[in-house]
Structure 1
C-alpha cells in the first residue's frame, strides 16, 4: 500500500495551531505517511511540532463558511486544534489524518521505517528472556529446567519459545497440561525468590468445565512445585462468583479435592471493558474546566480508577507476603492470564526484589513479564480515552501497572533506580512509538512480522548513555529489604504527571522537579570530584 493514496492534501499554509502550554501559532502543516508536521516560522523563529499519527485517538471536525477546525485528541491525552483555511482543505486533511492514524498492520507502522542516524539495528534485540533469566539463576538448576516444548509456538501461541518448568515434568506432560489450560498457557515460573527458594508461577485458568474434568498431568505439575510437606497458594484474579460462572462456559478453577495442597484465594482485579471505561471517566474528570472541587472529587471517585490501583497493589502485596513472609510458592492466574496476572506478578516482584528496582532491572522485568509473556499490546492499546469506537479488546492494563509503579515510586523515593520521566515515556510509547517493542500481541507475532529483525528496541535505547541519564533516579539507594506499599485511600494519589500533564500547574511542578534533579546531580559530581 502506498501511503500517498490516503493523503489528499500534503501541505497547507496559513494553518493556526492551538496546543496546551503554548500560545496559538500560525504556520505550515504537512502530512506524511506517519506524521503531522507543523512548522511555525513567524517573526524569524523556527519551531516545529512533530506528531506521530499513531498517537491520534480521535478527531473532530467542524466547518464554518470558508474555513474549518480540526480537534485532535491524542492517546497521550494532549488535545490540539488546527484552524484550517478552506472548507474543502479541512475535510481533505481530516480524512487523511483519520485514515492514516487507524492503520492496523504492524509492518505499515512507523517502527519499520524509523532509522535514526546515530545508531543501527541491534544484533541482540531486547534485554531479557526466560533463557537469560534461567542462566542467571543458578539456584534454579537443581529442581527446574528450561523447556523448549514451545519452540514452534504450537503448544501455546502466546508464550515464548522457552519456558521454565519443574525438572520432573517432561515435555509430553506439558503438552497435555497446555490442552487443559485456556490458550495453552500452562503454569511456568516467572520468579525465583533467592532468600527461601519459593517461586511465583503464572498461567491461565484450567478448563474443567461443568463436567469437572481432571488433568492428572496438571495436578502433577503443581505438586512438583511444592514439597510433600508444604503447601502453595493459588491467587485467582477473579471473584469466586466469576470463577464459578466460568465453569458453565468450559473454564473454571482448581478444585480442593484435586489440588489438596494448594489453597485458592480470590482477589478480583478488573480488566477489559470495565477498566477502559474507568480510564475514560477519569480523563473526562481531568478535562472538567468548571473548577468546582466537589464536582471534581465526585467525578474522580466515580471513575473508580484509584480503586483499581488499590486492588492491584493490595493483591500484589498479598502475593509478596505469601512468598516473602510466609515462605510459600504461589500460582497466579485469572481467565486468560495475559492481563491482571502479569500486573500482579510484576508488582509483587518489584515489592520483593531489589534487582527489579534498578533502571536495567525494571526494564528487563517489563520485557520478561509483558513483552515476552504475551500481553496483547496492539489489542489493548489500540485506543486510549478519547476514541469514539466502543471498547472491544482495548484495556489500559499496562497503564494501570505504570500508575501502580508510580505509587510505589512516590512512597519509596530512594528505593527506585528510575525517575517518573521513565514511567511517562513508557506510558506514551505503549500507545504510539518509534520502536517495535510494543508492536504485535505476542513473541510469535513479532517473529512472524519481522519486528525483532527490522525495528529498534525501546528498552535498549533507554539504556544508552544519552537517554539513561534522563531516566535515572539520582537519589537511588539500593536496599535488600522488601518495600511494602500502603494501600489506604489517603496513601494513594492521582498520577498528576500523566493525567494532568498538559495543565499549566503540572508543567510548572515538573519544571521545578527537573531543576531540583539537576542540582542533586551536580552536587553528586562535586562530591565525587
Structure 2
C-alpha cells in the first residue's frame, strides 16, 4: 500500500490552526503519510507536527467558500484547522480519516521514525527479565528464570523468560499452562523485602462445570508456601461472575484442591464496561454549559471514579495481605491481562518506594504491562471520540495511570516524577513515534522485529536531560508503605488530562515553575551552608592542633567579664 493514494491534496496554503489556550497559527499545511505539518510564515518560522495516529475522530464543517476540520485527539485535546476552500477541507479531512485508521502494524510511524537525539542506553535492553531477576538476589535460592516459553508456544502472551519457583520443573509448567486460560500459568510478579511475601499473577483456572483439577497447577502454587503457611488468592471478579465463567469452561480454584489458600473476591468491572464509562465521563467533561448538579450527576453516572475506587481498594487489599500479614498472594481475573495487571502494578506502587521514581515507574510498566502481555494494540486503538467501537478496545492502561495520579495527588512528596510524566505516558500508549506500546505481546514484537526497526520509549525517557523535565520539585524519598484513601472525597477528576481543553494549564504551570526555582535556591543555599560548616570544622581542627584556645560557646564568644556586663 502507498500512502500517496490516500493523499488527495498534499499541500494547502493559508490554513489556520486553532488550539485551546494557544495563539492561532497561520501557514502552509503539508499532508504526509504519518504527519500533518503546519509551517507558519512569521519570523520565527514555527512548525507544528501532528501525527495522524493521535487523531481519534475527524469532523468537517463547510461555511461559505471554506470550511473547518475538527480533530478530536486520543489525549482529549481538540484542534481546529480553518481551510480556505471547501474542496481542500473535504480532501484533507478524508486523508486524515484514512491515514489515522491504518491497521497494518508495519506501516505505523515508529517504523519510519529516526531519532534526533543520541541513544545513551538501548531501552529494549533496559528492563529485560534477566536484568530484573538479577536485582532480586534475596529470592535466587527459591526462584529461577525459566525459558519454557522461549518460542512462545506455552503461552503466546507471556515473555520469553518468566520467574518461577525453583522446585518446579518446566514440564510441570507446561501442564499447568494447559489448565489456565490462554496458557497464563502463575508466575512471579513482586517480592516484598520487608515481609518476605511474594506476589504472583495468572489467568483463571479452566475448572469448568465438571470441576476439573490439575495437580501440576496445585503443585506450582503450593510450592511458594512453607510448612503450615497459608496464602491468598485475590480474584478480581465477583463470586457470581466467577461461577458463571464455569459454564464457559473457566472458573476458580476450589477450596478442596487448594486448602492452604483462601480465596477473596474483590469485584472490579470487566474491561468491556470501561470504554463506555470513559465516553460518558468525557461527554460530561465537555459539557461546558451544564449546571453544577447536572455535571455532577453525569460524572457519577459515568462510574469512572467508581472504577478507580474499586481498583485502588483491591490493590490495597493485596498490599495489606503482603505487608501486614506477610502472606503470599496470587492475583487473577479472567484473562489475566487487564484487571489483574491493574492490581499487581498498583500494589507494587503502594509497597515499593523504587516504583515511585521515574525509572522505577518505567520498569514497572515494562515488566507488568508490556512484557506481561497487556494487548496495547487492541486496547489503545481508539479513545473516547471514535465513531466506531472495536470489540477489544478498553482504556485499562489509562485507568492505571489515573490510579497512579490519584495516589500521586495524595502523596505529592513521595514521587520523584511530576504530573507531566504521567500525561506523557498516556499519550505514548495511544500514539507514539516509539515502538514500546505498538504490539500486544513479546511474540508480536519479535515477529515485527521492533527491537531492530524501532526505537524504545525508554531510550528517550532514561536520558538525563529528559528525566530532568519530569522531576517533581517536592520529591522527598519516602521509604515506607503509602496507603491511599479510597473515600469519595479523596478521589478527583484528573483535570490536567481530561479537561485540557476547558481548564487553562498556564497558572498551574507557572506555580510549578516557581516552586522549582524555590527548591533549587533552597538546595543551593543548603549546599553553601554545608560547605561553610565543613570549612569551619576544618579550621577548628587546625586551631586545636596548633594549641589555640577558642572562645567558649557558653559565653557567646565574647572576652571575659566585659561581655558579661552587657
Q: Shorter chain as normaliser: what TM range?
A: over 0.9
1:124 Cα deviation (Å)? 5.7
2:348 and 2:376 map into 1 onto residues whose CA distance is 21
CA RMSD of aligned residues (A): 1.5
Structure-2 residue corresponding to 1:20:
20
Q: Give the TM-score normalised by structure 2.
A: 0.91
1:11 corresponding residue in structure 2: 11
SS in 2 for 1:165: strand
- C-alpha distance in 1 between matches for 2:53 and 2:306: 30
Residues 17 and 26, structure 1, Cα contact 8 Å, conserved in 2: yes
Of residues 491-500 and 129-138 in structure 1, the stretch that sits farther from structure 2 once superposed is 129-138
1:481 aligns with 2:480: yes
Check whether the contact 1:29–1:39 (CA below 8 A) recurs between aligned residues.
yes
Greater CA deviation, 288-297 or 58-67? 58-67
1 CA distance for matches of 2:255 and 2:296?
44
Q: Call closer, same or farther: CA 1:505–1:16 in 2, change over 3 Å.
A: closer
Residues of 1 paired with 2:509 and 2:280: CA distance? 25
The residue that corresponds to 1:378 in the other structure is: 377
Partner of 1:234: 233
Q: Deviations over 1:340-376 (max 9, x none)?
A: 1111001100111112112211111111101111010
Q: Secondary structure, in 3 states, of the residue corresponding to 2:347?
A: helix
Q: Which residue of 2 aligns with 1:286?
A: 285
Indicate the residue corresponding to 1:420 in structure 2: 419
Distance apart, 1:414 and its partner CA: 1.5
Higher-Rg member (1/2): 2
The answer to whether the Cα contact below 8 Å between 1:126 and 1:457 also exists between their aligned partners in 2 is no
Runs of 4 or more consecutive aligned structure 1 residues displaced over 3 Å after TM superposition: 120-124, 504-507
Matched, 1:468 2:467: yes
Summarize the alignment of residues 204-243 of structure 1 with structure 2, pairs less than 5 Å apart.
204-243=203-242
Check whether the contact 1:496–1:506 (CA below 8 A) recurs between aligned residues: no
CA contact (8 A) 1:435 1:455 kept: yes
State the distance in 2 between where 1:239 and 1:150 align: 31
Q: Secondary structure at the match of 1:125?
A: helix
1:286 to partner: Cα distance: 1.1
Query: For structure 1, which segment, 51-60 or 297-306, has the greater mean C-alpha deviation from structure 2 after superposition?
Result: 297-306
* 1:244 equivalent in alignment to 2:222: no
Q: Note if contact 1:121-1:454 (Cα within 8 Å) is conserved in structure 2.
A: no
Unmatched 5+ residue regions in structure 2?
A: 529-566
| Structure 1 range deviating more: 330-339 or 517-526 | 517-526
Structure-1 separation of matches of 2:247 and 2:98: 41
Instruction: Give aligned pairs, total.
Output: 528
- Superposed CA offset, 1:243-291 (max 9, x none): 0110000111001111111111111112422101111111111111115
Distance in 1 (alpha carbons) for counterparts of 2:373 and 2:153: 14
| CA distance in 2 between partners of 1:81 and 1:104 (Å) | 25
Per-residue Cα deviation, 1:392-429 (whole angstroms, up to 9, x for no partner) = 11111111111111111111112111111110100111
**1:331-410, aligned counterparts within 5 Å?**
331-410=330-409
Verify the 8 A CA contact 2:225 2:231 in the aligned structure 1. yes
Match of 1:179? 178
Flag the 1:277–1:486 CA change in 2: closer, same or farther, 3 A.
same
- Kindly state the Cα deviation for residue 121 of structure 1 after the two structures are TM-superposed: 8.9
Aligned partners of 1:86 and 1:472: how far apart in 2?
46
Query: Residues 120 and 459 of structure 2 are in contact (CA less than 8 Å); yes or no, is this contact kept in structure 1?
Result: no
Q: Counterpart of 2:504 in 1: which secondary structure?
A: helix
CA contact (8 A) 1:273 1:391 kept: no
Provide the rounded CA distance (Å) in 1 between the counterparts of 2:506 and 2:381.
27
State the Cα deviation string for residues 66-91 of structure 1 (Å, max 9, x = none): 32221110001111122222222222
Would you say the 8 A contact 1:338–1:376 is kept in 2? yes
